[in-house]
Amino acid sequence: MKELIKKILALLFHAGRLLHRNKLIVLAYHDVRDVNCFESHLALISEYYNPVTIHQVEDYIVRGVALPPYAVLVTFDDGEPSVKYLGIPLLKKYKIPAVAFVVSENIRSKQKFWWRIVEESFMNRKRTHAEARKEIRRLKKVPNRERIRTLEQIESLYAGIYKDPLALSIADLYEMRDNGITIGSHTATHPILNQCSSDELDTEFSLSKDFFRSKAIETFHFFAYPNGDYSPAIIPFLKRYEVSLAFTFDHKINGTKIDQYAISRVRANSHDPIDEFKLRISGISTLFN
Ligand SMILES: [Zn+2]
């Protein structure tokens, strides 16, 4: 029975891979939590796919320069330190380029990701992870001002909770960049953009762009929507701040015509077992979504 399932999975993987051979696949990871699983993903990519750089993707989408068949772009959201410490050696081993979309205030002022502040405040009050996750989901759906007010209340109760001593440094970003990881932007504080006012949107983009400019990191124009939340109302800001590619998080493989401001990505986790990863990268799992 096990053998039969294995054969069916292998068949599905190869069928999906063939079906999507001329489509751009963008994988969206967050961290590198499971080194062995993550290495099995990279080994599979290097055996069956053509890893491409974000510059090739820009040439393809904006200028019509063809990509190789079986093109895969590997991306990471948020700027988790494990991408540097555990990701670089493996990405280099398999010669796979990647992109890390970073939250500029997390690096500039070592400000903890806001969902971690919520999680920690719940743990401090001996509440469960499930309760914290529920509150985080709620805060993603309220106007940005209300989310900030809630965070300010937490910060007034727990002094110093917003500091993240383990956040990536500027030197880390340079090291990543020198090792094949392009640094892209992911706003200044990771709000949910479609809950922001125009002024708040403007602040997020200008702070983030200033950070990139002041640190001479020239790839601000590659952008990923926080939480993947795309909205047409954000496009005027992308244009004003000269963003050329914007990535969503819709768990889809791109079609033949790609909107430069709504590029699809498939979620991947470094701890996904290889059989599950095969279903994701081949697009089989998205066919059933
Ligand atoms: Zn994010």
pLDDT digits (tens, 9 = 90+) for 12-69: 999 999 999 999 999 999 999 999 999 999 999 999 999 999 999 999 999 999 999 9
30-39, 60-69, 244-253, 279-288: range with lowest mean pLDDT: 279-288
Q: Model-level pTM? A: 0.96
Query: Ligand 1 center to residue 226 CA distance, Å?
Result: 4
For position 161, what pLDDT does the model report?
86
pLDDT digits (tens, 9 = 90+) for 109-148: 999 999 999 999 999 989 999 999 999 999 999 999 999 9
Look at residue 1 and tell me whether its pLDDT is greater than 90.
Answer: no
Query: Ligand 1 center to residue 60 CA distance, Å?
Result: 25
Give the type of residue at 27. Answer: L
> Could you tell me which residues come within 8 angstroms of residue 211 by beta carbon, excluding any fewer than 6 positions away?
104, 107, 108, 188
Query: Ligand 1 center to residue 224 CA distance, Å?
Result: 8
Query: Ligand 1 center to residue 228 CA distance, Å?
Result: 7
Query: Ligand 1 center to residue 205 CA distance, Å?
Result: 15
For position 289, what pLDDT does the model report?
64
Rounded CA-CA distance 206/247 in Å is 19
For position 287, what pLDDT does the model report?
77
According to DSSP, residue 272 is labeled S
Look at residue 277 and tell me whether its pLDDT is greater than 70.
Answer: yes
Average pLDDT, the chain: 95
> Could you tell me which residues come within 8 angstroms of residue 142 by beta carbon, excluding any fewer than 6 positions away?
195
For position 74, what pLDDT does the model report?
98
Rounded CA-CA distance 126/141 in Å is 25
Element (H, E) at 150: helix 144-157
- Give percent of the chain above pLDDT 70: 100
Query: Ligand 1 center to residue 257 CA distance, Å?
Result: 25
**pLDDT mean over 255-265:** 96
Query: Ligand 1 center to residue 100 CA distance, Å?
Result: 10
Rounded CA-CA distance 270/39 in Å is 9
For position 190, what pLDDT does the model report?
97
For position 60, what pLDDT does the model report?
98
Question: Which residue reads 């700027």 in tokens?
Answer: 79
Other Cβ atoms within 10 Å of 205 Cβ, number:
23
**pLDDT mean over 156-163:** 88
Query: Ligand 1 center to residue 115 CA distance, Å?
Result: 10
Query: Ligand 1 center to residue 153 CA distance, Å?
Result: 23
According to DSSP, residue 234 is labeled G
Give the residues across from 27 on adjacent strands.
74, 266
**pLDDT band (50, 70, 90) for residue 160:** confident
- Give percent of the chain above pLDDT 90: 91
pLDDT digits (tens, 9 = 90+) for 179-190: 999 999 999 999
Buried b (16+ CB within 10 A) or exposed e, 214-249: eeebebbbbbbbbbbebeeebbebbeebebbbbbbb
